[in-house]
Structure 1
Amino acid sequence: MRIRHRLIGLSLLFLSAVAGARVDPERAAELGRSLTPMGSEAGANADGSIPAWQPMIDHDFQRGDNPYADDEPLYTIRASNLANYENLLTQGHRALFRTFPETFHMPVYPSRRGAAYPQWFLDSTRDNATTVELTNSGHGFCCAAQGFPFPVPTNGLEVMWNHIMRYNTRGFRGYVAAAATTPAGDHVVERAYLELAYAYNTPGMSAEQLGNQNLYVMSKTVAPASKAGSAYLLHVPIDRVTQTTGVWVFSVGENRTRRIGEVGYDNPLFDGLMTQDQVDMFNGPLDRYTLKLVGKRELIVPYNSYALYDPEVAYEDIITPGHIQQQLTRYEKHRVWVIEAQVREGISHRYKKRVFYVDEDSWIVLAQDIYDERDQFWRFAESHSVNFPQVPVMINGVQVHYDLQSRRYAILNLTNEEKELIEYDWTQTPGYFTPSNLKRFAATRQ
């Protein structure tokens, strides 16, 4: 009987997660008033420690600029004073203090809310509030082709869709680096070149023209030499339950392209330190979890860490034993949506429970607590997002994925040592992203 009740409870919870859709027009009318055009609270919090939203657009912004360079830390959280701030920290940050009490610390700066987006994108977001609704039990949505789909969310699925479908310009290309560390901090930097174009969030695109497509990407490894030349192609749909992701790989040794099956979910990545669905902090699909919207909290989270993107800072300066160099980080107090994800009954995933902390302004997952099959805390991920005001866009850039049990981590999306910044608003037609073109792509951009 207990098992039956539990199954009923999980079913009801899942149904409640997908119930509701279009927002009442009166509530939607608050977008641009009490709510920002993105759906966050426009005003400051009660004590002013979180300021009112003030979008930052600066067409003269150059690589290496730090708009908040003159800010000084308000305080630094250390293991010695952790008790004073624990209620403002994720479980993962608390675990880092327990694991590395002598070295881990968090410099906390004045909070800055500069997230900015093009006006056409914000206009589409406003329209979505009263027109978009979940489909296929929440695995997809209708009917939008631009904008945050759910600026006034009523459940956890809608919050996560805002993260997955957020604005990243029409596309981008460039070089990025990543590394998986040993407990001693030893690592090999892997460098890749990628080209990515979005179908969703393309200006002028209609929902009918969009179909079910989200994005296209080709990526090739350029270093180290032992892996150089391998490449892959992805066709990523929106509803990935109705339609699986198209995946093709090019093998240098075989000198041919072949299609393989879905490689998402909990397939291992970076020496097993993270899973495929942790890329971009979470990329879906959403079908293996029941999502619960816990609510919104004020927490200290990574934000505006421009030093991690500074071309004067080398990768060796960032990657240190156990955790990244915390002197280069910046933490601020922000309001975040809290989403609890539990593996659905009868479904397999190596992460039994995950807690996502989603920024109210950008809808980026800023942090993620991860629990294993024994309900033991296991891993933690954080995103050091920044605003590029010349675009404008808020990016989910440098990400650190910690395995607290092994004292190792993977770091993604490093660009400091590249000659040029990622080129945003680059785009290509779907006809460019074909299996026949993958071999040619693999032979370019050394």
Structure 2
Amino acid sequence: MQPVDTLIRTLTSARTLALSAMLALTPLAQASSETSAMDQLGQSLTPIGAEKAGNSAGTIPAWTGGLKPEQGAMQDDGNMTDPFANDPVLFTITADNLDQYRNQLTPGQLAMFKRYPDTFQMNVYPTRRSASYPEAVYEATRSNAETTTLLDGGNGITGLANGVAFPIPENGLEVIWNHMLRYRGDSMDLTLSQVIAEADGDYREITKQTIWNFFPSITDLEDESNLLFLYKSKVLEPVRMAGEVTLVHEPIDQVAEPRRAWKYLPGQRRVRRAPNIAYDNPATSSDNLKTSDNLDMFNGAPDKYEWTLKDKKEIFIPYNSYALYDKNQSNADIIRPGHINPELARYELHRVWVVEATLKDGQRHVYGKRTFYIDEDTWQASIIDLYDSRDQLWRVGMAHAIQLNPHQVPWLVTEVFYDLHSGRYITNGIANSYKKPLVFGQLASKSDYTPAAIRRWGR
């Protein structure tokens, strides 16, 4: 990987034109014709490429730096102080008043109101542009803005430092790469649960310890520039599955170098190569409620789809959902028939990039089309509407985000995928069952992520 380049050069004319096109979507952020696109980062644009100004209605405020590191600090038991606990509910969107807000909702959200007219609702709070990052991420983003380019028809990246790959995106592929490569801390060690909820509200959960090391935190990468991260997770509960380990080596370009994965099964005391954990193969232990490329909303190779940057819109998206992270709330408090407890979910009005992915001719995937709504302040895919091969809306994915301080990492409380047909859903990331904090900043060696290493870890 290339190191952060602190020398700022003039951005290419193509990216200058791309910025002009983007600003035309929202006339609030005006760029001087004499100012290069690069200079807009940190001025009319935030350091990672969002519009710094608020909207004309005053319902989206200006970005003023996000939460400071000391705000919302993590406690020893993993809990966090909600910096917005005193915010009032501005209004609640229900099936009865839906038409007032229809233009600021996605088709998937509208479908949730239709599917659950008596119980699904959205409590809307003041918009808080809480996202902030370490200064090194801002510096890396400025470097990326002039050096990062797509390779292999958009399947790979070159010239990448550990920031936003394309802060001034030209197309839908660049936006989706921003989501996949966004900063999530150089490393993370967390205990979380995956919960499968039946239509009647009964549920079962699997709790895992999960460890990621992204490329900047791996000490002996040498020249392996295609590696994005190393990942391993170990099942803690239920007892019948305890000790099962999954190991993943995640490349950036997965067309040139497919993802490699292994499983350790304690009953067999053996490590085996895992089947293809990619594309539309069912995600591990998901009961076929989401695909492998639904993990983290979307991951993996983008080669099966045509990616179109459609628009930039103001949408009510899940945001600052600290109530869902509150460890005084159990999974029983969160899980409800059909959907999570709406009293614990917080929605805010934010600007999102709208990207449509349409399956290419000759390619196969259970999703014929996906529409992504990607938060401008974090490049997190906040909502995904998922369509089947008949172009019928099938599933809806929602990512409930918070700011993890003092580490300045925008992250997820949980991601939820709702099946509109069966009434079932799956959540991943709820960390309420275990009283321990997330751990960031741990260095690792490649030797920590070998089949032999996960066999020892599983035992």
What TM-score, normalized by structure 2, do the two folds share? 0.89
Q: Hey, what's the Cα distance between the residues in 1 that align with 2:169 and 2:333?
A: 40
Could you tell me whether the CA contact under 8 Å between 2:372 and 2:384 is conserved in 1? yes
Given residue 155 of structure 2, which amino acid in structure 1 is its aligned partner?
H
- Superposed displacement of residue 170, structure 1: 1.3
Q: Hey, what's the Cα distance between the residues in 1 that align with 2:171 and 2:122?
A: 31
| Counterpart in the other structure of 1:96 | 112
Could you tell me whether the CA contact under 8 Å between 1:364 and 1:396 is conserved in 2? no
**Percentage of identical aligned residues:** 39
Q: Hey, what's the Cα distance between the residues in 2 that align with 1:131 and 1:196?
A: 26
The 5 A counterparts of 1:229-248 are 229-248=243-262
Kindly report structure 1 stretches of 4+ aligned residues shifted beyond 4 Å: 201-206
Report Cα offsets for 1:169-221 as digits up to 9, x if no partner: 1111121101111110111111011111010x559999x84510000011111
Aligned pair 1:331/2:323, yes or no? Answer: no
What SS class does the counterpart of residue 185 from structure 1 fall into? coil
| Counterpart in the other structure of 2:67 | 56
Q: Hey, what's the Cα distance between the residues in 2 that align with 1:37 and 1:389?
A: 18
Q: Hey, what's the Cα distance between the residues in 1 that align with 2:309 and 2:117?
A: 32
| Counterpart in the other structure of 1:4 | none
| Counterpart in the other structure of 2:28 | none
What SS class does the counterpart of residue 129 from structure 1 fall into? helix
Q: Hey, what's the Cα distance between the residues in 1 that align with 2:426 and 2:70?
A: 33
| Counterpart in the other structure of 1:23 | 15
What SS class does the counterpart of residue 300 from structure 2 fall into? coil
Match among 196, 219, 225 for residue 180 of structure 1? 196
Q: Hey, what's the Cα distance between the residues in 1 that align with 2:390 and 2:179?
A: 28
Q: Hey, what's the Cα distance between the residues in 1 that align with 2:106 and 2:220?
A: 39
Q: Hey, what's the Cα distance between the residues in 1 that align with 2:276 and 2:160?
A: 26
- Superposed displacement of residue 58, structure 1: 2.9
Per the alignment, do residues 163 and 205 of structure 1 end up closer, same or farther by CA in structure 2, a change over 3 Å counting? Answer: farther
What SS class does the counterpart of residue 141 from structure 1 fall into? strand
Q: Hey, what's the Cα distance between the residues in 2 that align with 1:204 and 1:423?
A: 18
Match among 234, 255, 261 for residue 269 of structure 2? 255
Given residue 399 of structure 1, which amino acid in structure 2 is its aligned partner?
E
- CA-based RMSD: 1.7
| Counterpart in the other structure of 1:131 | 147
Structure 2: gaps of 5 or more residues: 1-11, 17-34
The 5 A counterparts of 1:59-70 are 59=70, 61-62=73-74, 63-70=79-86
Match among 45, 53, 61 for residue 55 of structure 2? 45
Per the alignment, do residues 48 and 214 of structure 1 end up closer, same or farther by CA in structure 2, a change over 3 Å counting? Answer: same
What SS class does the counterpart of residue 79 from structure 1 fall into? coil
The 5 A counterparts of 1:215-294 are 215-269=229-283, 270-294=286-310
Report Cα offsets for 1:39-75 as digits up to 9, x if no partner: 0000101111000012111336132310000100110
- Superposed displacement of residue 427, structure 1: 2.9
| Counterpart in the other structure of 1:308 | 324
Could you tell me whether the CA contact under 8 Å between 1:337 and 1:360 is conserved in 2? yes
Aligned pair 1:388/2:404, yes or no? Answer: yes
What SS class does the counterpart of residue 175 from structure 2 fall into? helix
Per the alignment, do residues 120 and 64 of structure 1 end up closer, same or farther by CA in structure 2, a change over 3 Å counting? Answer: closer
Q: Hey, what's the Cα distance between the residues in 2 that align with 1:46 and 1:212?
A: 43
Aligned pair 1:122/2:114, yes or no? Answer: no
Q: Hey, what's the Cα distance between the residues in 1 that align with 2:230 and 2:421?
A: 35
- Superposed displacement of residue 21, structure 1: 9.8
Given residue 53 of structure 2, which amino acid in structure 1 is its aligned partner?
G
Q: Hey, what's the Cα distance between the residues in 1 that align with 2:13 and 2:305?
A: 19
Could you tell me whether the CA contact under 8 Å between 2:197 and 2:424 is conserved in 1? yes
Structure 1: gaps of 5 or more residues: 1-19
Could you tell me whether the CA contact under 8 Å between 1:190 and 1:223 is conserved in 2? yes
Could you tell me whether the CA contact under 8 Å between 2:201 and 2:337 is conserved in 1? yes
What TM-score, normalized by structure 1, do the two folds share? 0.92
Given residue 36 of structure 2, which amino acid in structure 1 is its aligned partner?
E
Given residue 242 of structure 1, which amino acid in structure 2 is its aligned partner?
A
Q: Hey, what's the Cα distance between the residues in 1 that align with 2:110 and 2:134?
A: 37
Report Cα offsets for 1:146-181 as digits up to 9, x if no partner: 111100001001001111111111111121101111
- Superposed displacement of residue 226, structure 1: 2.2
Q: Hey, what's the Cα distance between the residues in 2 that align with 1:295 and 1:123?
A: 27
Q: Hey, what's the Cα distance between the residues in 1 that align with 2:263 and 2:336?
A: 33
What SS class does the counterpart of residue 191 from structure 1 fall into? strand
Could you tell me whether the CA contact under 8 Å between 2:218 and 2:446 is conserved in 1? no
Given residue 280 of structure 2, which amino acid in structure 1 is its aligned partner?
D
- Superposed displacement of residue 356, structure 1: 0.4
What SS class does the counterpart of residue 268 from structure 1 fall into? coil
What SS class does the counterpart of residue 274 from structure 1 fall into? coil
Report the count of equivalent residues. 422
Q: Hey, what's the Cα distance between the residues in 1 that align with 2:70 and 2:119?
A: 38
Per the alignment, do residues 435 and 203 of structure 1 end up closer, same or farther by CA in structure 2, a change over 3 Å counting? Answer: closer
Q: Hey, what's the Cα distance between the residues in 2 that align with 1:135 and 1:359?
A: 25
- Superposed displacement of residue 254, structure 1: 1.4
